[in-house]
Amino acid sequence: MKFEEQLQFGMDHLSAHDPVMKQLVEVFGLPTFRPHQQYYQELVESIVSQQLSVKAAATILGRFVELFGHFPLPEEILACDIERLRAAGLSRPKASYIQDLAMRVSNGSVSFESLDSMTNQQIIENLTAIKGIGVWTVHMFLIFAMGRLDVLAVGDLGVRNALTLLYTKEYNFVHVVKDVEIQKLSDHNQWHPYESLACWYAWQSLKNTPGVAA
């Protein structure tokens, strides 16, 4: 089944079970993200972008690529002095995290070829072993790189804020929803196995892109 067809099934599923999501589906239509195989680049870019605005992240990413004249291979990052990476605007920790990822890819301790056969939880356990990569980063990776449609990004601040606004009238929330409440929303409104789409529509309701980890 083509990915666009899977998305349409997900839209129909959410619309059939959740009136709030039904309205968002009608407004925002087919989700725009598509899976791709640039896993290494996606993770490097995720590390660079952590805790930054979209504009600031794009600027630093541009400088980072300019250092090499192209998106660097792991071996090129390992051969690059950390101070040179910092000159592109990377913090010392982020430069160290990127080199740690490059080292793990180079020595085979991280194998992107094996990820497609893993469960979401296995991928989380595998990738969070890398310095600087937490659960939020892996959730974004699962959704936007791998196209996994069953990811509930409970740690994303944008998702939390959006769901609080969208469901306060029905559930009388008095604070920004937490992990347990988001899971309950998902269970009650039968989002599974399309939690990623529910998150995407939540982001769209804020006219937002994925937020920082909460």
Q: Across the chain, what does the average pLDDT equal?
A: 94
Instruction: Say if residue 209's pLDDT is above 70.
Output: no
Regarding whether 72 and 18 lie in a shared domain, the answer is no
Regarding whether 125 and 97 lie in a shared domain, the answer is yes
Q: Are 185 and 5 in contact (CB under 8 A)?
A: no
For residue 198 the two structure tokens come to 């529910």
H helices, E strands: number in the chain: 12, 0
Q: Are 150 and 197 in contact (CB under 8 A)?
A: no
Q: What is the pLDDT of residues 21-72, one digit of tens each?
A: 999 999 999 999 999 999 999 999 999 988 888 889 899 999 999 999 999 9
Using DSSP's 3-state secondary structure scheme, residue 62 falls into helix
Q: What is the pLDDT of residues 140-180, one digit of tens each?
A: 999 999 999 999 999 999 999 999 999 999 999 989 999 99
Instruction: Say if residue 200's pLDDT is above 70.
Output: yes
Q: Which residues pair with 213 in a beta bridge?
A: 156
Q: What is the pLDDT of residues 15-27, one digit of tens each?
A: 999 999 999 999 9
Q: Which domain holds residue 21?
A: 3-34+151-205
- Give the chain's domain count: 2
Give mean pLDDT, residues 7-15. Answer: 99
**What's the CATH code of the domain at 28?**
1.10.1670.40
Going by pLDDT thresholds of 50, 70 and 90, the confidence category of residue 4 is very high
Cα–Cα nearest to 60, from 51, 50, 48: 48
Q: What is the pLDDT of residues 101-151, one digit of tens each?
A: 999 999 998 889 899 999 999 999 999 999 899 999 999 999 999 999 999
Residue 84 domain flag: yes
Q: Which residues pair with 156 in a beta bridge?
A: 213
| Catalytic-role residue among 100, 116, 150, 156 | 156
Is 81 marked active-site?
A: no
Q: How many other C-beta atoms are found inside a 10 Å radius of the C-beta of residue 93?
A: 12
Give mean pLDDT, residues 206-210. Answer: 69
Residue 197 domain flag: yes
* pLDDT score for 19: 97
* pLDDT score for 212: 58
Going by pLDDT thresholds of 50, 70 and 90, the confidence category of residue 211 is low
Residue type, position 186, single letter: S
Asked if the bond preceding 93 is cis, omega within 30° of 0, the reply is no
Instruction: Say if residue 214's pLDDT is above 70.
Output: no
* pLDDT score for 213: 61
**What's the CATH code of the domain at 125?**
1.10.340.30
Could you give the CA distance from residue 68 to residue 44 in angstroms, rounded to a whole number?
A: 14
Asked if the bond preceding 193 is cis, omega within 30° of 0, the reply is yes
Regarding whether 187 and 123 lie in a shared domain, the answer is no
Regarding whether 44 and 29 lie in a shared domain, the answer is no
